[in-house]
């Protein structure tokens, strides 16, 4: 349908998966490692993609829901044993983030931790990262065009590894691949994408181009997510949400905020296992209320982009959208308890997204947010 060049090359549109062999050839990858997960293998999609790759392509399907340092090293062993020279990642943010970790350590010496952004790792990541082709099957993370990889170290720290060199060299965004996505996953991943657009807009860093992209992406998602949720086969709505997710990934070069500093920390818990998009959906109304005094002018622009009335309360609208999409009514439903608060707050304060929240949260601010998120969302059940 279209080739877009912005930070990386993007093949976007229904049927664009067929561009995969050409992408492999363009990037001169002769022995790719295919990274995906068992769910996509069971669906048959993994085999379909493998059939488009060179003979002898190695595979790794044991991607955890939150990619770990252990998974990176296990996948790296497969990469090296097969003599691979590039990666094709199929799935949501987890396989793509895992691929970035492998591509990094395949070409850079030393422990993974030293490349984390909060430890000065951005400058340690050079251009010789192994090439990645990313094929998203959800419309959520924007990882296919993003410069970050979120990986959980052995001690539970969920850290961001950030560099323009980690952006996949090619993204193949085919909305047809999202048609079979269950409604609840459609909702959670779509709200993840919306959180990227909203937090990017609210970030205090000066970057008008990123804000323009974020506003357009937020509008696409807001106007089409319910359509995609209600009709899983609405290709036009799926395409719009996927483009909005991609725009969120392009824009969050500007930085995110407290929604993500908290969700990154919560995602590092060994138990319960928590879905990143679901966490963002629950936290977003709470963080918007916290930031309200610092985002007045941006709220006006966001309401215009999403079609909300000028007097609408964004946090209430987000609560309502969560209910309409059947999101869990709070963290307690997911198994989170107050016992983890100190651990989560410590990591949220150290997270790379903390610094770009419009108002700097204190430890007690984070505790209040978590306490509010623990309970039910306002209003009646759907």
Are 134 and 50 within 8 A, CB to CB?
no
Query: Is 5 a residue whose pLDDT tops 70?
Result: no
Indicate if 219 and 345 belong to the same structural domain: yes
Domain assignment of residue 158, given as a range: 2-177
73 located within any domain? yes
Among the candidates 153, 177, 201, a domain finishes at 177
Indicate if 209 and 315 belong to the same structural domain: yes
Indicate if 139 and 223 belong to the same structural domain: no
Q: Residue 4: its pLDDT value, please?
A: 57
Q: What is the CATH classification number for the domain harbouring 143?
A: 3.40.50.1970
Please count the other Cβ atoms lying within 10 Å of the Cβ belonging to residue 185.
Answer: 18
Instruction: Tell me the three-class secondary structure of 36-63, residue by residue.
Output: CEHHHHHHCHHHHHHCCCCCCCEEECEC
Query: Is 296 a residue whose pLDDT tops 90?
Result: no
Q: Residue 375: its pLDDT value, please?
A: 84
Q: Residue 140: its pLDDT value, please?
A: 87
Cα–Cα dist 267/331, whole Å: 12
Global model pTM greater than 0.95: no
Over residues 128-133, the mean pLDDT reads 96
Over residues 44-58, the mean pLDDT reads 95
Q: Residue 2: its pLDDT value, please?
A: 61
- Residue 3: pLDDT band by 50, 70, 90 thresholds? low
Cα–Cα dist 342/364, whole Å: 10
Indicate if 77 and 46 belong to the same structural domain: yes
Indicate if 246 and 137 belong to the same structural domain: no
Closest CA to 301 of 211, 196, 171: 211
- Residue 223: pLDDT band by 50, 70, 90 thresholds? very high
Query: Is 1 a residue whose pLDDT tops 70?
Result: no
Over residues 327-353, the mean pLDDT reads 94
Write out pLDDT tens, residues 329-341: 999 999 999 999 9
- Total domains in the chain come to 2
Write out pLDDT tens, residues 226-266: 999 999 899 999 999 999 999 999 998 889 999 999 999 99
Indicate if 168 and 75 belong to the same structural domain: yes
Are 277 and 188 within 8 A, CB to CB?
yes
380 located within any domain? no
């Amino acid at each position: 349908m279209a080739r877009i060049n912005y930070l990386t090359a993007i093949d976007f549109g229904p049927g664009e998966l067929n561009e995969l062999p050409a992408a492999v050839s363009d990037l001169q990858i002769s022995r790719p490692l295919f990274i995906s997960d068992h769910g996509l293998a069971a669906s048959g999609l993994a085999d379909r993609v493998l059939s488009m790759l060179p003979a002898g392509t190695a595979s790794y399907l044991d991607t955890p829901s939150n990619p770990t340092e252990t998974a990176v090293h296990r996948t790296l062993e497969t990469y090296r044993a097969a003599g691979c020279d590039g990666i094709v990642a199929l799935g949501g943010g987890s396989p793509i983030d895992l691929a970035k970790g492998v591509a990094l350590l395949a070409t850079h010496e030393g422990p993974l931790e030293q490349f984390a952004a909060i430890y000065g790792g951005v400058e340690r990541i050079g251009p010789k990262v192994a090439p990645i082709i990313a094929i998203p099957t959800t419309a959520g993370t924007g990882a296919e065009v993003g410069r970050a990889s979120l990986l959980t170290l052995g001690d539970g720290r969920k850290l961001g590894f950030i560099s323009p060199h980690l952006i996949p060299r090619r993204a193949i965004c085919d909305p047809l691949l999202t048609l079979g996505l269950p409604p609840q996953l459609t909702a959670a991943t779509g709200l993840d994408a919306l959180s990227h657009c909203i937090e990017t807009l609210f970030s205090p860093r000066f970057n008008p181009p990123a804000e323009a992209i974020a506003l357009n992406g937020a509008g696409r998602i807001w106007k089409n997510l319910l359509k995609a949720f209600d009709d899983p086969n609405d290709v036009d709505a799926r395409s719009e949400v996927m483009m909005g997710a991609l725009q969120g990934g392009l824009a969050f070069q500007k930085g995110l905020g407290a929604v993500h500093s908290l969700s990154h920390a919560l995602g590092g818990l060994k138990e319960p296992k928590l879905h990143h998009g679901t966490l963002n959906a629950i936290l977003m109304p709470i963080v918007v209320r916290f930031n309200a005094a610092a985002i007045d002018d941006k709220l006006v622009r966001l309401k215009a982009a999403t079609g909300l009335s000028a007097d609408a309360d964004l946090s209430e609208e987000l609560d309502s959208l969560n209910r309409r999409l059947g999101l869990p009514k709070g963290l307690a439903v997911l198994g989170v308890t107050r016992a983890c608060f100190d651990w989560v707050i410590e990591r949220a304060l150290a997270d790379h997204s903390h610094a770009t929240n419009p108002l700097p949260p204190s430890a007690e601010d984070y505790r209040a947010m978590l306490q509010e998120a623990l309970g039910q969302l306002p209003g009646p059940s759907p």
